[in-house]
Amino acid sequence: MIFQDEPIGVMEVLNKRVNAPGGKFTADDLEIMQSLAGFAAVSIVNSRLTHDQKNFFANTMEILGAAIEAISKSSTGHCWRVAQTSCTIARRLKITGQAYKSIYYASLLHDIGYIGAQRQSAQRTEASHPSIGAEMVSTVRLLSAAGPLIEAHHELWDGSGFPHGLKHESIPLGARIISFVEQLEKVRDEVKRESPKIPEGDLHVKLEQFASENIDTLFDPQVVAAYLVEVSPALN
Ligand SMILES: [Fe+2]
Ligand SMILES: [Fe+2]
């Protein structure tokens, strides 16, 4: 099997079972096999390419996540935890298809604006990182629906968030989820700073408490409910 002058593999046929004398393969058989081998080679190359692309994408995301964490000075694993918890909540809320994928991409890259805002003062960076992040992904077709979620990932249910002070349903649902998880992460970091050896169970009690205390004020009640049902028992 050859693709663009490169051998991809070998196809072997044995023991032709026909009534023909000796059961020998003919020139016609060879021609059929060669054309089948051609198709097989193309399929193999395509599937390798898809596999490599997926691998490359996952690795790039991992590298980006590490860069975002280093520049935004957030705790190790922050991007992945936000993605994991956001996606769990999204599944509980029966979000599927493109909307779900956008939440996955946006939650992984939510703080990417810190990279673009690097030359600004710390205070300005904090305020502008959602909009800068949205702008950064806007030219990537795959991430176009993630942009508005990144832009709104610091908006809060009661309108007290930034950058636009959006309220209730005017904040996209995906952004309400990511914003909630982003605030949970802040509490997690604080608790860990105060007591680095806190058992996971105790940490989650504190997170649940924070979530419940701010239900319908900072956070969309359905998002908090999905978290309490789906995420916290699994971690306890
Ligand atoms: Fe974050
Ligand atoms: Fe953020």
Read off the pLDDT of residues 194-225 as tens digits, 9 standing for 90 and up.
999 999 999 999 999 999 999 999 999 999 99
The CA 138 to ligand 1 mean position distance, Å, reads 19
**191 and 121, same domain (yes or no):** yes
- Based on the fold, state whether residues 226 and 110 are members of the same structural domain: yes
Left if phi > 0, otherwise alpha if psi is -120 to 50, otherwise beta: which for 210?
A: alpha
Instruction: Give yes or no: residues 56 and 119 share one domain.
Output: no
Residues 6+ apart with CB under 8 A from 89: 177, 180, 181, 223, 226, 227, 230, 231
pLDDT at 124: 80
* Proximal ligand: closest to the CA of 69: 1
Whether 58 and 80 share a structural domain? no
Shared domain check, 179 and 116 = yes
Å from CA of 29 to ligand 2 middle: 64
C-alpha separations of 113 from 66, 71, 81, 118, 136 in Å: 14, 10, 18, 8, 7
Read off the pLDDT of each residue in 62-91 and give the average, rounded to a whole number. 92
Q: Are residues 101 and 82 in the same domain?
A: yes
Q: Are residues 225 and 147 in the same domain?
A: yes
pLDDT at 25: 86
Q: Which of 9, 43, 72 is the last residue of a domain?
A: 72
Give the number of domains in the chain. Answer: 2
Mean pLDDT in residue range 124-148: 92
Smallest-distance ligand from the CA of 153: 2
How much is the pLDDT for 119? 75
Torsion of CA 55, 132, 149, 91, to 10 degrees: 30
Beta-carbon contacts of 144 under 8 Å, excluding residues fewer than 6 positions away, are 137, 138
Same structural domain, 195 and 107: yes
How far, in Å, is the centroid of ligand 2 from the Cα of 186? 10
Gap from CA of 18 to ligand 2 centroid (Å): 70
Domain final position from 72, 98, 122: 72
Q: Is 235's pLDDT higher than 60?
A: no
CA distance 118 to 140: 21
Please tell me whether residues 43 and 130 are part of one structural domain.
no
Pairing of strands 2-3, 6-7: antiparallel
Over the stretch 14-40, which tens digit does the pLDDT of each residue have?
878 766 656 788 899 899 999 999 999
Q: Which residue has the higher pLDDT, 76 or 151?
A: 151
- Same domain assignment for residues 88 and 183: yes
The alpha carbon of 233 and the centre of ligand 1 are apart by a number of angstroms equal to 23
- Please give the distance, rounded to the nearest whole angstrom, from the Cα atom of residue 126 to the centre of ligand 2: 8
Mean pLDDT of 89-118: 94
Q: Quick one: 166 and 64 in the same domain?
A: no
203 and 173 in one domain?
yes
Ligand that lies nearest to the alpha carbon of residue 186, given by its number in the listed order: 1
Which of the ligands is closest to the CA of residue 126?
A: 2
pLDDT at residue 193, rounded to an integer: 94
Residue range of the domain that includes 158: 73-236
Q: Among 72, 89, 119, where does a domain finish?
A: 72
Q: From the CA of 128, which ligand is nearest?
A: 2
Per-chain residues with Cβ under 5 A from ion ligand 1: 111, 182
pLDDT averaged over every residue in the chain:
91
CATH number for the domain including 213?
Answer: 1.10.3210.10
Residue 90: pLDDT band (50, 70, 90) is very high
Query: And the tokens for 88?
Result: 């769990």
